[in-house]
Amino acid sequence: MTTNIPAPSGAFVGSIDRSGSRAGEEKAMVLAWNAFMANMKKDPLGQNMRGRISMWDNMGTDILRQGVFSEIKPLTNGEIEARALTPLYDNVMFAIQILDEMEGARKALVIDTDGLENYSQKWKDVAPVRAEIEKRREQGWLVIYLAKNIDAWKVAEELGIPKENAMNYRNTGAAAPHSGGLLSRFRNHVAEHPMGYALGATAALVGAYMLLRPGQSHGALGFTDSDRNNAMGVDGVSQTWQNAVADDASGFREPINHFMDLPTNLQEAYVGLPEDFDPLLGSMNEDGTQPGLLDPNEDVLDATDAESLANGEYAEAGQGESNATEDTPRQGNVSGNDREEQGADADPDPLPEESNDSVSIDADYGGGGGGGDIGGD
């Protein structure tokens, strides 16, 4: 006998590296993350998850979208802009703290990067980062690591993320037609592009995670060889994803690995930041303030919301100041003043909306979230 029951509550954080080495792939990143959001909207359980998608570098961590996936609007060209260095560890720890603060029985974190750690200021060693990830995974969190150019399996292992939940992707080529499989019903409208396929497959994994029964381990969930071939733009016959990853990793040299590698205007901008500047409070606004804290239950559904928040229209008293302490949960920020103007260059949603059917299942869902504050070192 089946029983209609409420979908389990869930929370999601997508943490996107916007370092300068990603210059030239911003439009592909927009397309790929739109593919992710479109797939989440189509999933009967995923559409009810609350998501937060942000981009980061050493000059600020900025919210792109935050809200229930069924309501979030697609990204537009110009919202993601490659910029400076890669404080990976600081931003992974920040993402964990944000997800701790978000409500939801099921919690999923996706890290999307194209390079290695090179500028964290608070968490300079991988060991505490690994410990936090392993603790959250024991609590039932799903943690996924996506990477370009580097060996995702190797870095994920260092971070405490199982290789089944790590995948490389490319920004060029075309995804091969994929065969059906366990998760194929979630992959109805994936952009036919390797990076788009990687994010579509990631949405499928998150959707499958939401379907787990109480007490059922998520350890069996992972990307398939078909996923990995498509994400690398190879057919798995004339070239395999393993060979493609090895080729990319062996030939990669981080073009922006040190402060002096940055363009002069970014060096000057960074040197000119105030002494109390905290990148986790957002990129600096033109008026010399930072966007500040944002409750993770507030909505940033589209670019207009992001711009309004960055300009202080939604801010509470004091939010524009860098007034967080080590004991203050940093809950997010948005800045859009350094982005291109939206409008004529904006792409429409590349993936169509569809209605979602209700789901009948035969068991109650239990909670797997939890967490706690992350202390400093």
pTM (predicted TM-score): 0.78
Average pLDDT over residues 173-196: 52
At residue 360, does pLDDT exceed 80? no
160-to-144, 147, 153, 164, 345 alpha-carbon distances in Å: 11, 15, 10, 12, 40
Structure tokens at 63: 């919210």
pLDDT-wise least confident of 16-20, 77-81, 363-367: 363-367
> What percentage of the chain exceeds 70 in pLDDT?
74
pLDDT mean across residues, the chain: 77
142-to-107, 215, 295 alpha-carbon distances in Å: 6, 14, 22
pLDDT-wise least confident of 66-80, 133-147, 173-187, 242-256: 173-187
How high is the pLDDT of residue 192? 65
In angstroms, the CA 103 to CA 22 distance is 32
Maximum mean pLDDT: which of 237-246, 249-258, 308-317, 329-338: 237-246
How high is the pLDDT of residue 312? 58
pLDDT digit string, tens, across residues 276-333: 889 988 998 888 888 887 888 788 777 777 777 666 554 432 333 333 333 322 233 4
In angstroms, the CA 303 to CA 355 distance is 24
In angstroms, the CA 8 to CA 94 distance is 25
Phi, psi of 297 (to 5 degrees): -95, 0
Binning pLDDT at 50, 70 and 90, where does residue 355 land? Answer: very low
In sequence order, the β-bridge partners of residue 14 are 53, 110
How high is the pLDDT of residue 309? 66
Phi, psi of 176 (to 5 degrees): -75, 150
Mark out the alpha helices in 144-300 (DSSP H runs).
152-159, 194-210, 225-232, 241-251, 264-271
In sequence order, the β-bridge partners of residue 56 are 17, 61
Residue 76, SS3 per DSSP: coil
66-to-25, 162, 228, 266 alpha-carbon distances in Å: 23, 27, 28, 28
At residue 2, does pLDDT exceed 50? no
171-200 burial by CB neighbour count: b if 16+ within 10 A, else e?
beeebbebeeeebeebbebbbebbbbbbbb
Domain extent for 111: 1-377
CATH number of residue 261's parent domain: 3.40.50.410
At residue 136, does pLDDT exceed 70? yes
Number of domains the chain is built from: 1
Higher pLDDT, 235 or 362: 235
In angstroms, the CA 77 to CA 70 distance is 21
39-to-49, 70, 186, 199, 351 alpha-carbon distances in Å: 12, 10, 7, 9, 9
Structure tokens at 156: 């994920």
Phi, psi of 159 (to 5 degrees): -90, -5
pLDDT digit string, tens, across residues 197-206: 999 999 999 9
Average pLDDT over residues 326-349: 35
> Could you tell me what percentage of the chain is helix, strand and coil, using 3-state DSSP and rounding each to the nearest 5?
30, 10, 55
Write the CB contacts of 101 (distance below 8 Å, at least 6 apart in sequence). 296, 329, 331
